Structure 1
């Protein structure tokens, strides 16, 4: 079953610096994780009720839970995790989800 690691980022204090670090440093590190099949990055523009507490959402797809765990435990996964905690540790939450339907 396809699984994904979902990162939800709250609004950063300095969006420009956050975007630059995310684009130039963090995303290239994360994309090196073994077994990563696809990455989707989305800017959160609101919610049906108005504003949202979230700024950015990243979804990283893997073939299965074992592949995700192996990626997180790899040198590349550890490097991405260390970077994440350094620049966004206070504003990010991580979630693992099983994809139950894809079009």
Structure 2
């Protein structure tokens, strides 16, 4: 059964600075081993001008839970989370079973 790791990135303190650093974060994200694919999405702004519930999401797809678990134990994962943590926002990660 495929596993997806979703990283939900909350609204950063400085969105412009976050976007400047985002390409480097994405490059690190793409280096995690065993991925079937990676999806990056930016949350649409709310029409009423209130803050969005989150800023961006990253979805990493893997063949299995074991493959996903292995990917987050490599040095590149440490680099990814260290970089993300230093970009002015908070985040949450979820491991999910992909139902198709």
Matching residue of 1:6: 6
- 1:14 to partner: Cα distance: 1.2
Q: For 1:17-39, what per-residue CA distance to the aligned partner results, in whole angstroms no more than 9, with x for missing partners?
A: 1012111x211111111101111
Normalized against structure 1, the TM-score is what? 0.83
Ranges in structure 2 where 5+ consecutive residues have no aligned partner? none
* 1:83 aligned partner: 83
TM-score by length of 2: 0.85
Q: How many residues are treated as equivalent by the alignment?
A: 98
RMSD: 2.0
After superposition, the C-alpha distances for 1:19-63 in whole angstroms (9 at most, x for unaligned) are: 12111x21111111110111111111157xx95311111111111
- Residue 25 of structure 2 corresponds to which residue in structure 1? 26
